[in-house]
Structure 1
Amino acid sequence: MISAPYRALAAGVAMLLAIALAGGAGWVANGWRHGAELADLQRAHAEYRAGLSEQALADVQADAAKIRAAATEFATIQSTLAPRMTALTKELRNAKPLPADCRPDAARVRNLDAAIDAANQSIPR
């Protein structure tokens, strides 16, 4: 038969072993619970980022449409303005120089006014 001190020692060791096993089981269960919470947080964060990405894509598409419209408007203005400016530049280059104390004649004033009007019309409003 096992003597009383050894039985007490065996009971103490068994108790410590049971406490260690229960603590380990609690630790593992708590880890699973925190793992599930972490997975939920990661899923929510991924959904939030996906929403932000969709919004950013929509913003980029809207901005691209605005840029495309502005480029089309610019091309239209440039195609109508370029020949007029070329003709006006040619007329101004071919004009005879004025003496220092002379005023511009009516043709020069008309050409300058036409150039100013063409430049003003090219400004989008």
Structure 2
Amino acid sequence: MIFSLALLLTAVPDKCSLSAQWGDKLPKKGASAHEVRDQGGTALWDFIRADDTALEDFAGGAGRDTPHRPIILYAAGTDCTVVERYAGIIEASANCAPDWCVVSYKPAPPLAVPPTRPAQR
């Protein structure tokens, strides 16, 4: 039993230092949420590769949507430095609130479509 408890404790990822603008309660499964995850040092906004500028643009657009679609930042398996950078960009652009900007330490669900490059400007 002690081994099982130790295994469970080691499987829980560390929590990153995010501002109070981030919540941790995931929206209901049926909610149409934006998903942000790391793919080798590059953010994916839903399934689109996004450099920091594109991530800022996407988050700004999401912040202007009414009603707000939740933004889920998947942090499992990602270095906290990267998660905190993405969170800072998103919260500054989208004016986050903990009920719709959410960090998840559960593994991200698989992508439905392959990642694409953002449109050239």
Is the TM-score greater than 0.5? no
Higher Cα radius of gyration: 1
Question: Structure 1 length normalisation: TM-score?
Answer: 0.23
Say which structure, 1 or 2, has more relative contact order (CA 8 Å, 6+ apart). Answer: 2
More helix by share: 1
Question: Structure 2 length normalisation: TM-score?
Answer: 0.24
More strand by share: 2
